[in-house]
Amino acid sequence: MLFSAFLAVFVHSSSMAQEHKVTGTVISAEDNTPMPGVYVVIKGGTTGTTTDANGNYSVNVPGTDAVLFFSFIGFVSQEIVVGTNPVLNVTMEPEFTQLGEIVVTALGIAKEKKALTYAAQTVDAGALQESRELNAINALGGKVAGLDLMRSNAGVGSASRVVLRGNRSIAGNNQPLYVVDGVPIQNNTFMQTYGEGGGLTSSDGISNINPDDIESLTVLKGASATALYGTRANNGAIIITTKKGISKKGIGLEYSLNYSIESPVILSKFQNTYGQGASGIYQPVQEFDWGPPLDGRQVEHWTPDVNSPKYGTTYSFVAHPDNLKDFFQNATNVTNTLGLTAGSENVQAYFSYTNTNSKGIIRNNELKRHNFNLRITSKLSKRLSADAKVTYYHHQINNRVSTGDDFYNPMRAILRQPTNISTEEAQTYEYFDNSGFRLQNYWNPHSNGGENPWWMINRIPAKETRDRVLGMASLKYELMDGLSIQVRSAIDYASDAYAQQSYTDTYTIADRGNFRTYKSLNYELNNDLLINYNKTFGDFSVNVSAGGNLLTQEWLNTSVNAGSLLKPNLFTFGNAAGLSASEDGATKKLNSIYGFASLGYKNYLFLDLTARNDWSSTLPPENWSYFYPSAGLTWVISDMIKSLPAFLTFAKVRASIAQVGNDTDPYQLAPQFTFYQGGANGYASRGGTQPATDLKPEITTSKEIGADIRFFQNRLGIDFTWYRSNSKNQLLGVSLPVASGYNSKFINAGNIQNTGVELVLNGTPIKGDLTWDISVNWATNQSLVVKITDEMKSYPLTGRQWMTTTIVREGEEFGLILTKKFLRNDAGRVLIDPNGKPLVSDGQTEPGGTYNPDWIGGITNTFTWKAFDLQFMIDFRQGGMIYSFTEANLSSDGFSDYTLEGRDGFVVDGVMASDGSENTIEITSEAYWQHLGGRNTPTGEPYGYDASNSRLRALVLGYTHNFKNFPLRNLRISLEGRNLFFLYNKAKYVDPNLASGNSNVQGVEGFGLPSTRSIGMNLRLTF
């Protein structure tokens, strides 16, 4: 239907307007050398090009009144009226800020940054490529005001969680929409877990994008910026523009190599004074370090292998403080990228291939990744141009690291290895009994929850693969000067597979072996049409667009689990003692039409208006159509009033208001009776969610004001934004009393209010041979739960976790953490029970802070001297809480250093609950920490830490050399370090910026991998 719509337009067209070709060379004022890669775009349009390796460009403009923008990171952008001259050479002046920069906004429309009515921050693609991380999006941390980035701790290929301007959705997704070359892409996480319970968290969709293909990346934070993307951009959008081919002679080639080594940053502190056992008694089967002193006494060896020479012998009872360190290896990342560009006047191609090989700090945790990208842009006729792109992505991740209290998590095993057991001996993780069965060599055979950590990384092999194809094709036809129509079709297809084999004798979880597979297919098709009209009438400029989008999403998940194996260690489904399979899937359609108008007056006053209507298949018929508008105004004071003081270079103020609607998941409207295996004929059960028959779309309303002021010829600039968003009618699956027959029902409720301030400060304190640029960003956001419903004052974000429950509660900040705390008297003294132990709350009922930071920020300093540059970035995250389930376990098992205190007895500071008298009853630290910690419902209070921290996030030292008259035109080599050290970390035992998974449940970690310190080099050769 879409294509025929295009044809209809195409056939009818008979415009004869004069097209005009402009060519030229762009050179740098710095050294008068040609500048490749300069972005050349027709103002107000969606077409543009980049200069070739020799700084040449060629572009067809609609007429002589067309305006070309020239833009390059680090240089003053220029705006030039084409006129009649077919040759337009441009000299670019370096600058530290991007005044006059072109920003690619919603629907791929290029806009002058000064005309924007909302905050947008662009990040240099170089930041993604140098000092790189496996997940390109991680490079944004600390760089963008109001962007809160949390990494998850699942080893190589971990997902991240990006939140712009605070959490606003109670039950849904809080991450932004990613848009690549004008088309939204999926950012789903195939397997997702949360909190201290843990499990597997896969890579996220955005990590599939190759940083080497990225030309520029713009963060659109507010609803105003993203109103045109609708529903899915409710949380802001990150707009990625990828590279295109350029017209030039011969083939341009770029090669880069990135190599880095990572080492774990171990923050847990262990005691090395006491060994395995309980109550001071050595017991080889214990998984605690509450045993006798490690004084070198001879103790019975632990191995259950009767054929081992160690069996029945004794060994020296001494500490092995490096057990954890020895368990890890240094991680390595090697990335090779080859980029090719070629092009004639009418057809340009860009091809790239990137190969990534990573080894994690956990042995056998590996990632292999291939990115292929081919993009062809062409001018099919004078007025018809085409843009087509195919991206193929493949990864294989071996032995993805499970998180939290999941029994598959190897961290859980190594952290709990008694210190008297040496790595060397533990590394003999298996043996064969007399009948030839492979058995685990472990100190507590058949333990419930304990395993030999080396068995876990060798005998529970898992393989995860993802294949993803992103395809895009668009055709654009210029009907007449300033009027164009574009049709585009884009597909995003991803196939995920996970297969895990557990060898027989993997205690509790797979005593009899196990083989399981998960598969997932995700498909998204976007068809859109955009009509754009762009014209200047005297003092007024008009840019109007209208269009529509048809979105289809489909997913299918299947899992097959061989519960136990008949023949040990033969991993086929035919060998299953009990086989179960499940399947789930859904389809969703979202149809949209939208319109957009930007009106300019004398190039200093701009008014933006947008409107969008969505039709979502997930909502009931009476509510499936919903409309939402936005409006914004920008006033560039410095362009209007020419008599401003000389020190004031640029000043603008802006204001906007916007609404964005949101729908829900498929299949919420009808009752559901499910069937499952059991009994003679199967079991049936009614679903737990009460069908919602009158759901309304969710609406977020945002207001934003801001100012952008620059002084002293751009040596100093301040960008300030204040915003407030209110998300109402949220679709909540609210909990019902389970006796009502339903666990939950969907209602429209809530008013989550996010209010915040963002500040970006840029300065150039020193300019000359040595230049020092400094960029500071700072943001604070408060997420306030204004209301849930009249009756409902609080709402859980998920089910109960071992140690914490995260809820939203009226009148409080979003993401309140409930946990168990000490009971205290009015004077705040801890109450003590008759046994001398502190009394704690019965359940997770006590508020223990939120996970939201009070503020986040970053400082980036860049020094350039001749061909050298040095950049370092410090990030900050202040406030919020992090609860450590790891410490709750390490302390109760006697591993933490602080458990040394009171081993022979101490008196807990507190008063007797019975009569208020001072506590005098002595208990051991063993009794104390076992009372508070442990796996089952530990008391969170002693394990909750202030998450404030700051660290040297990145350091890059680079050298660039330009060659003249040599095939190699440019060489850049840089040394880089990431996550080098903490300036401070109040949560001393954990890295508070690492999360268990990327869901809405944050503020708690459980047996996570430590963060890593990385040091590497990057080499880039341009031919």
The one among 30, 583, 622, 694 contacting another protein by CB under 8 A? 583
- Local structure of 233: helix, strand or coil: helix
Near another protein in 624-653, by CB under 8 A: 624-625
- Local structure of 377: helix, strand or coil: strand
Taking the complex as a whole, how short is the minimal distance between the CB of residue 549 and another protein, in angstroms? Answer: 8
Computed from CA positions of residues 216, 220, 226, 230, in that sequence, does the dihedral angle turn out positive or negative? positive
Residue 879 binding another protein, by CB under 8 A? no
Taking the complex as a whole, how short is the minimal distance between the CB of residue 771 and another protein, in angstroms? Answer: 50
Residue 129 binding another protein, by CB under 8 A? no
Residue 557 binding another protein, by CB under 8 A? no
Taking the complex as a whole, how short is the minimal distance between the CB of residue 309 and another protein, in angstroms? Answer: 23
CA atoms of 148 and 133, how far apart (whole Å): 17
Near another protein in 492-511, by CB under 8 A: 508, 511
Taking the complex as a whole, how short is the minimal distance between the CB of residue 176 and another protein, in angstroms? Answer: 24
Residue 577 binding another protein, by CB under 8 A? yes
Q: Are 108 and 487 in contact (CB under 8 A)?
A: no
Residue 567 binding another protein, by CB under 8 A? no
Beta strands in 909-990 (DSSP E): 911-912, 922-923, 944-946, 949-962, 970-985
Near another protein in 1-60, by CB under 8 A: 1-2, 5, 8-9, 12-15
Degrees, nearest 5: CA angle 745-751-756? 140
Q: How many CA atoms lie within 13 A of 986 on its CB side?
A: 14
Task: Return the exposure string of 844-868: e unless at least 16 CB atoms fall within 10 Å of the residue's CB, then b.
Answer: bebebbbbbbebbbbbbbbbbeeee
**Part of the chain binding another protein (CB under 8 A), chosen from 199-207, 260-268, 668-676, 1006-1014:** 668-676
Q: End-to-end distance of the chain based on CA atoms, in angstroms? A: 45
Instruction: Name every residue whose Cβ is closer than 8 Å to that of residue 286 and which is 6 or more positions away in sequence.
Output: 276, 277, 278, 418, 443, 444
Nearer to another protein, 338 or 499 (CB): 499
Q: Are 693 and 736 in contact (CB under 8 A)?
A: no
The one among 690, 780, 884, 1018 contacting another protein by CB under 8 A? 690
Taking the complex as a whole, how short is the minimal distance between the CB of residue 957 and another protein, in angstroms? Answer: 51
Near another protein in 929-948, by CB under 8 A: 930, 934-937
The token pair that represents 168 in the structure block: 């606003």
Whole-number Cα distances in Å, 58 to 476, 585, 986? 18, 48, 56
The token pair that represents 133 in the structure block: 């991380």
**Part of the chain binding another protein (CB under 8 A), chosen from 349-357, 360-368, 454-462, 662-670:** 662-670
The token pair that represents 770 in the structure block: 């040595």
Nearer to another protein, 85 or 508 (CB): 508
Near another protein in 210-249, by CB under 8 A: none
Nearer to another protein, 295 or 583 (CB): 583
Please name every residue paired with 750 in a beta bridge, in sequence order, or none if there are none: none
Helix (H) or strand (E) segment spanning residue 459: helix 453-459
The one among 701, 794, 798, 970 contacting another protein by CB under 8 A? 794
Alpha helix (H) residue ranges in 564-612:
none
Residue 800 binding another protein, by CB under 8 A? yes
Residue 279 binding another protein, by CB under 8 A? yes
Taking the complex as a whole, how short is the minimal distance between the CB of residue 641 and another protein, in angstroms? Answer: 38
CA atoms of 676 and 909, how far apart (whole Å): 54
Residue 778 binding another protein, by CB under 8 A? no
Residue 811 binding another protein, by CB under 8 A? no
Residue 316 binding another protein, by CB under 8 A? no
Tokens 């095939």, residue?
967
**Part of the chain binding another protein (CB under 8 A), chosen from 59-67, 241-249, 305-313, 833-841:** 833-841
Residue 298 binding another protein, by CB under 8 A? no
Q: What is the DSSP letter of 278?
A: B
Residue 661 binding another protein, by CB under 8 A? no
Taking the complex as a whole, how short is the minimal distance between the CB of residue 415 and another protein, in angstroms? Answer: 16
Tally the residues of the chain.
1023
The one among 34, 100, 292, 688 contacting another protein by CB under 8 A? 688
CA atoms of 783 and 766, how far apart (whole Å): 39
Residue 851 main-chain phi, psi, to 5 deg: -90, -5
Whole-number Cα distances in Å, 933 to 5, 402, 457, 882, 888? 66, 22, 27, 16, 4
CA atoms of 721 and 663, how far apart (whole Å): 28
Alpha helix (H) residue ranges in 55-165:
125-129
Instruction: Name every residue whose Cβ is closer than 8 Å to that of residue 365 and which is 6 or more positions away in sequence.
Output: 155, 156, 359, 397, 398, 399, 400, 401, 457
Nearer to another protein, 8 or 867 (CB): 8
Taking the complex as a whole, how short is the minimal distance between the CB of residue 591 and another protein, in angstroms? Answer: 5
Taking the complex as a whole, how short is the minimal distance between the CB of residue 533 and another protein, in angstroms? Answer: 8
Residue 993 binding another protein, by CB under 8 A? no
Q: Are strands 994-995 and 147-152 parallel, antiparallel or unpaired?
A: parallel
Residue 905 binding another protein, by CB under 8 A? no
CA atoms of 760 and 859, how far apart (whole Å): 10
**Part of the chain binding another protein (CB under 8 A), chosen from 48-56, 101-109, 428-436, 926-934:** 926-934
Taking the complex as a whole, how short is the minimal distance between the CB of residue 945 and another protein, in angstroms? Answer: 23
Residue 561 binding another protein, by CB under 8 A? yes
The one among 250, 678, 765, 811 contacting another protein by CB under 8 A? 678
Of 740, 879, 882, give the one whose Cα is nearest residue 806: 882
**Part of the chain binding another protein (CB under 8 A), chosen from 266-274, 369-377, 584-592, 1010-1018:** 584-592
**Part of the chain binding another protein (CB under 8 A), chosen from 190-198, 229-237, 308-316, 794-802:** 794-802
The one among 309, 434, 435, 680 contacting another protein by CB under 8 A? 680
Taking the complex as a whole, how short is the minimal distance between the CB of residue 972 and another protein, in angstroms? Answer: 46
**Part of the chain binding another protein (CB under 8 A), chosen from 612-620, 852-860, 976-984, 1004-1012:** 612-620
| Orientation of helix 885-892 relative to helix 925-932, angle to 10° | 150
Residue 796 binding another protein, by CB under 8 A? yes
Nearer to another protein, 743 or 751 (CB): 743
The one among 480, 759, 921, 1021 contacting another protein by CB under 8 A? 480
- Local structure of 998: helix, strand or coil: coil
Taking the complex as a whole, how short is the minimal distance between the CB of residue 968 and another protein, in angstroms? Answer: 49
Residue 828 binding another protein, by CB under 8 A? no
Nearer to another protein, 99 or 736 (CB): 736
Of 294, 591, 536, 581, give the one whose Cα is nearest residue 421: 294
The one among 180, 349, 411, 485 contacting another protein by CB under 8 A? 485
Near another protein in 724-743, by CB under 8 A: 735-743
